[in-house]
Amino acid sequence: MNFRGTKSLAYVGVMVAVVLAVAACGSSGSSSSSTGSSGGSSASSTSSSSGNGGGTAPGVTATSITFGTHQPLTGPAAPGYSEIAPASQAFFDYVNAHGGVFGRQIHLIIKDDSYNPTTTVNVVHQLVLQSNVFGIFEGLGTPTHTKVVAYLNAERVPDIFVASGCPCWDNGSSQPYTFGWQPNYTIEGKILGQYLKQHFAGKKIGVLYQDDDFGQGGLAGIKDEVSAGSIVSAQPYQPGVTTLAPEITAIKAAKADVLVDFTVPIYTAIGQLTSFTLGYKPQLVVSNVGIDPITVGGLLKTISKGKASGTALIEGAITDGYLPSTADTANPWIQLFKKIHDQYDKSAPFDGNVEYGMANAYTLVQALQAAGKDLTRQGLINAINQKGASWTGPGLVPFRYSTSDHGGFNGARIGMVKGGQIVLSGPPLTSTPAAGSPITPYSGTQPSPPASGIPAG
């Protein structure tokens, strides 16, 4: 591979623009109708009398539950992330084939928002007001979902398990209907920061981060663990840009030995190609959300027109994981998800995005079981508040759920890209987002899935 100099950087920018244009026309992963349920027949959105005190539950009938979601099926976040919601529906299809939840089939209306906050607002209003969904599940993206949280809480619509680790989902007192699911980005940043402090003491650190609560939360976590003087350059980027040359050039000029990315996959790839063209070879550290090897490897190959083959440019990258690695084929959760993938979602690669969608769907089924047969919106919220912290499942650490804390998993394990796969090592580590709060090893063990693969409440 031979990229060098200004012309090569311009080439990378042109190719990124092409990739973004292609993504704007259709995702690179699994696709799904943006107007109806993915998999199975469309569900009725008629309200039915159900549950506590004879109240009504929009999106619920005697035989179905309908959720909605906004997803980047197109746009800059589509590569990889477009696989998530279809994988969730694949898990629901599996549950539906085994009788559903209290006899109700679970349906998911997937709407494309192209990772554009304005579109997200329109899509979510359509789902609530026109499709009459029971709730919003797994709405993806920090810059997008922050624009609808206030509306969903004002309307008392369950806003369940947001596909983002933004700290902004965590406050159950001010946003009682919104719940995170994955680790808070500040917790993730702290765990990565501790690793850097322990293994790269005295090294200069540069940070490339998305300029929103995603990147800012991760940066805050890094700063909580490493000394202030260690971070020699912190460079933000805006979603939608086609080049990271100014940011990577600035980090290189600061002589950073370590480059920490809080990036979505396409910007992880752009950053690595830019570093290569500049002859810059720092130790790479990437947030879990931006380092799925299959996704990033495919983007590197596409953007470079095959000159960067596979995952060579991310080999050795340090990351973290709160779910078992898809490379761990002996893990019973991976075996379960692979079985469901092969039956209901085989057009998608079996990667971390598919695992994410199925694991998140598993937790939603757990919540619906806990809410009981007489399903109401408030009943679902109460069930998560009261029981969520005790739930076990595919996660390597517990959830943080309580009435006041709606954050998701409370930690992760350290991982590294080896042989094009993420390999996890060491014990799971847990913490809170609070500045100065300790990072402690988690001594619990991950249980096997139920024999049926379907959780109880």
Per residue in 393-408, pLDDT tens?
999 999 999 999 999 9
What confidence score (pLDDT) does residue 3 get? 53
Tokens matching residue 216: 């800012």
Over the chain, what is the mean pLDDT?
90
Alpha-carbon span 132 to 47, nearest angstrom: 8
pLDDT value at 389 more than 90: yes
Confidence of residue 68 (pLDDT cuts 50, 70, 90): very high
Least confident of 51-60, 87-96, 413-422: 51-60
C-alpha 353/C-alpha 359 separation (Å) is: 10
pLDDT reading at 63 higher than 70: yes
Per-residue pLDDT averaged across 341-358, rounded? 98
**Residue 16, pLDDT score:** 60
pLDDT tier at 9 (50, 70, 90 boundaries)? low
Q: Please tell me the predicted confidence (pLDDT) of residue 133.
A: 98
Whole-prediction pTM = 0.91
Please tell me the predicted confidence (pLDDT) of residue 446: 92
Phi and psi torsions of 382, nearest 5° = -60, -40
Task: Report whether pLDDT(56) > 80.
Answer: no
Closest CA to 292 of 331, 252, 263: 263
What percent of the chain is predicted at pLDDT more than 70? 88
Tell me the average pLDDT across 85-98.
Answer: 98
CA separation for the pair 241, 255 (Å, rounded) = 24
DSSP labels for 260-317? EEE--HHHHHHHHHHHHHTT--PEEEE-GGG--HHHHHHHHHHHTTTSS-TTGGGTT-
- Determine the 3-state secondary structure of 117 from DSSP: helix
pLDDT at 40 over 80: no
The two structure tokens encoding residue 185: 């980005």
Q: Does the pLDDT of residue 316 top 60, yes or no?
A: yes
pLDDT (mean) for 122-146: 98
Q: How far apart are CA 97 and CA 343, in angstroms?
A: 11
Tell me what the mean pLDDT of segment 247-258 comes to.
98
Rounded Cα distance, 388 and 398, in Å: 9
Name which of 436, 396, 404, 454 is nearest 183 in CA terms. 396
Task: Considering only residues 180 and 39, tell me which one the structure prediction assigns the higher pLDDT.
Answer: 180
**pLDDT tens, residue by residue, 280-302:** 999 999 999 999 999 999 999 99
Mean local confidence (pLDDT), 33-41: 39
Predicted local distance difference test score (pLDDT) of residue 48:
37
Sign of CA dihedral 267, 268, 271, 274: negative
Domains of the chain: 5-23+185-321 (3.40.50.2300), 26-184+327-411 (3.40.50.2300)
Asked whether residue 4 carries a pLDDT value surpassing 60, the answer given is no
Residue 13's H or E segment, with its range, is helix 5-25
DSSP H/E element including 145: helix 142-145
Neighbour tally for 445: CB within 10 Å: 9
The mean-pLDDT minimum among 22-26, 151-155, 249-253, 367-371 falls in 22-26
What's the whole-number mean pLDDT along residues 118-129? Answer: 98
Out of 242-246, 304-308, 353-357, pick the least confident. 304-308
